Amino acid sequence: MKILHHPDRSDIHLSSVLYALSDPVRLYIVSEIKKVGERTCGDISVPVAKSTLSHHARCLREAGIVHVRVQGTQRFLSLRTEDLEFRFPGLLASILNAFDSSSEKDQLLQL
């Protein structure tokens, strides 16, 4: 089984986090995980192919935004809220609040 790399708390960089969250699909994924908690990739309904969803999950993991736990053939995504709050206080909450109140989320769900 391949071991997935998760950056240490000190290796999470603002530019990587902002880049990962600049994509509306990734931002939607993070928003859904924040609302419900740990989710499998298959539980998140996004208008993209499975391979594209895997790419987005990898980007979020490598940026230090999510933790991916492998159980059998499933991958469970959870937010690294504590680490992000320690490194960049209030950043994730601010970005998610702006996203939830924007029309971008509604446009994404209509696809």
SS3 at position 14 = helix
Residue 51 lies in a domain: yes
Residue 4 lies in a domain: no
The string of pLDDT tens digits covering residues 22-66 is 999 999 999 999 999 999 988 888 888 888 999 999 999 999 999
Q: Which domain holds residue 42?
A: 11-104
Residue 81 lies in a domain: yes
Given a contact cutoff of 8 angstroms between Cβ atoms, the answer to whether 11 and 5 are in contact is no
pLDDT at 4: 86
Domain count along the chain: 1
Prediction pTM value: 0.89
Residue 6 lies in a domain: no
Residue 88 lies in a domain: yes
Nearest 5°: CA angle at 42, between 64 and 45?
90
Residue 87 lies in a domain: yes
Average pLDDT of 7-19? 96
Residue 47 lies in a domain: yes
Q: Which residue has the tokens 């230090």?
A: 64
Residue 5 lies in a domain: no
Domain with 75 in it: what CATH number?
1.10.10.10
